[in-house]
Structure 1
């Protein structure tokens, strides 16, 4: 208990601006990653806005199918993306020759994940038939999921490439690559969904094709960075392609729980969304709109979380645990300030966030969806604070290698704190949409407290994901 109280005092004290582990360093690393994840957030937001203009059924289908695809790819992308922690710890330890090999182990995971997703494509109609959504929604869900599965391999590989450059602290090029690929995706979205410039109108299928094509663009741009002399810190990185079985196993050991964390988190919310679908298309569409709006807050904090993992990894690799802790505390302060601001905006300006959805939609059909979505944004105002806390402290734990605890905590809460209570509320007690969202908010609170207590106990400071350096001759 004293340890937790001591950590709480550390949390509320003012951090320092300059120097290692201060706000300035956290911002220097995180701002490009925040902008990168914001670009991805914008991509999702505009994509679903286009689909809301296309039809309400397309909008209702976009989140279940999209989240299911992200859920299945997240196991592999989360594992491959954990390359960033390996690279950051190798970088902090000054062992630059191992960084390229770590990246390539992530590429091999991408090839495995891509193959498995190709096998899922024929089964998409049967998968979405299980959830009992309306026939038009099911058809759109299947089309979107199938097209997204085509881009699984490059999507996962881009996580490994990105992990390399974020691990060495070169986050600005990652940002620009995200901007370019996002611009490509949004342009292709508009062209293929609505059939512009001579292309056929493809609707949901076009949205999926645009996203998969953008994943290929990501990979091409990342590979190009390695051909800038000296830019990658290790000019031999692309040539270190051989399978290193010991390193591959180590990446699986620490990275797979991280990938499972994403999978479990997303699976929990996928289950949440699918259960909400039984309340009706209006409730499902309102939930989709609310979650889509929340990406404005959530995705930037994911970028901050990536930065905290990198800094924790770097300072632990350099044997400087106090600076790893200081970076985490600075990250929490920044997250709390941003999430508080966004929560106030959700409460005070809900119509502003819903405006993009209303512009191209049928006013009469969208009006009841908008009214419910405005109320759901009030729940998100509180949930966002807890979510920011989750992201920062779980990211700090992952940067050290404490991925099994993160996976265990999320598994327990996703099952017993979210999916089962929501399922019971809907199927047995005929609860409405607001009761369901109350359960989700409490889930966020308990999860935040669990990660904070684990962080405050400090066991993570002794953890490392990289092997010991061989003795010098």
Structure 2
């Protein structure tokens, strides 16, 4: 079945029941969406508490957080691709290969975690390039250093999660992420503000709370993975050794996925740093707009993982038609979610923005930031619909093994549709907050069209990462 939306209730009912239909999408995707929602809550409250703490803290949190996430998600793109191999081995009837794949991902996570910790030494030169005010730069460096030192916990938790997401058993991932949010949210508040016997740490407290949340996820997933039943069925303990052949395959397909994550976050990070040159109001408004946008974006990342799992299992079975059907069903769910959020962004921008008003600013002093952010949410409402296309089609292409296209689509789009046009605006004297946001919206739309065309061409149907037993 194509990605065409059902035109009647009978078609909806039929698509609900069939393999790769809405029921299967929600069965696999809802726990992942709930898990990503808990991550959204963690990030949202993190920035919410910081916005009430001081304007400087919220202005520093997004650039520093994006810089950290830029490096972290690059590594996750590589190690997390184990979920596709696991999905395809399950689909191909080879569960005994799962433990070996998991361990290559864990080994790579430990190596990448060490490298990320070393990047904390580069905090000062990285943030000096932005040209922000000295106090803002100091806060950015503090936040970045703590996140980098604890990033290995996030990588390990992500690798352990591939064992469940690749098999389509996503509830343990959801529960671990919810537990992390339960720990993180109150810690955010008490460490930022210095409540009870905790010291007032400001932006450093937000970073420490985030790292502790990562640790909770990693510990709980480790307990869930390494049990006797999983050892019997998948060899999760006995296959702990380094496997050069499997590691090379993970790197071959995972590295383009990692570069894709890098370019995707680089585009946003670069954009935020550039907006920062327009002044504190523009930067704070952009930070708040992206924070609100994350409410729409992060849950669809759960659907991205879900469609990759369903496509991977279908391709492992040698069933590309089933993969296409699952992709269409997932797209419908994602578009419904994004449309609902886009309406909220357009119709109720004021109440959303007011959540971020710092306690030390009066409504009058906050008026410029409020008005600017409300205007930016119109751009968010427009491009988030296109963003859902990119998220779902790229997830499907990755699930089939077409990671090279996903990498080049993001790289070429970032350079030629975002960065070069933005600097052209500057050369022409049209450099402004609205013109930059317009270019960013066009960039997201172009990525969506390219992803859709690639999927429709169907070259991914001929790819095989594993062969049926």
Q: TM-score, normalised by structure 1?
A: 0.94
**Paired residue for 1:85?**
84
Q: Provide runs of 4+ in structure 1 moved above 6 Å.
A: none
**Residue 400 (structure 1) aligned with residue 407 (structure 2):** no
CA contact (8 A) 2:226 2:237 kept: no
**Paired residue for 2:424?**
424
Output one character per residue of 1:427-455: Cα deviation in whole Å (capped at 9) or x when no partner.
Answer: 65252111111111111111111000000
Once structures 1 and 2 are overlaid, which stretch shifts more, 328-337 or 406-415?
328-337
Q: Which runs of 5+ in 2 are unaligned?
A: none
Q: What pairs with 1:138-287 in structure 2 (closer than 5 Å)?
A: 138-230=137-229, 234=233, 236-287=235-286
CA positional deviation for 1:238:
2.8
Q: What pairs with 1:227-376 in structure 2 (closer than 5 Å)?
A: 227-230=226-229, 234=233, 236-358=235-357, 360=359, 362-363=361-362, 364-376=364-376
CA contact (8 A) 1:382 1:441 kept: yes
Q: TM-score, normalised by structure 2?
A: 0.95
CA contact (8 A) 2:2 2:324 kept: no
CA contact (8 A) 1:275 1:423 kept: no
Once structures 1 and 2 are overlaid, which stretch shifts more, 417-426 or 405-414?
417-426
In 1, Cα distance between equivalents of 2:422 and 2:360: 30
In 2, Cα distance between equivalents of 1:331 and 1:267: 27
**Paired residue for 1:3?**
none
CA contact (8 A) 1:52 1:357 kept: yes
Q: What pairs with 1:116-127 in structure 2 (closer than 5 Å)?
A: 116-127=115-126
CA contact (8 A) 1:77 1:157 kept: no
**Residue 73 (structure 1) aligned with residue 88 (structure 2):** no
CA positional deviation for 1:250:
0.2
| CA shift in 2, pair 1:334/1:169, >3 Å | same
| CA shift in 2, pair 1:232/1:342, >3 Å | farther
In 2, Cα distance between equivalents of 1:92 and 1:188: 41
CA contact (8 A) 2:176 2:217 kept: yes
Q: Which runs of 5+ in 1 are unaligned?
A: 1-5
CA contact (8 A) 2:32 2:174 kept: yes
**Paired residue for 1:412?**
412
CA contact (8 A) 1:308 1:395 kept: yes
In 2, Cα distance between equivalents of 1:170 and 1:361: 46
For the aligned residue pairs, the C-alpha RMSD in angstroms reads: 1.7
CA positional deviation for 1:228:
4.7
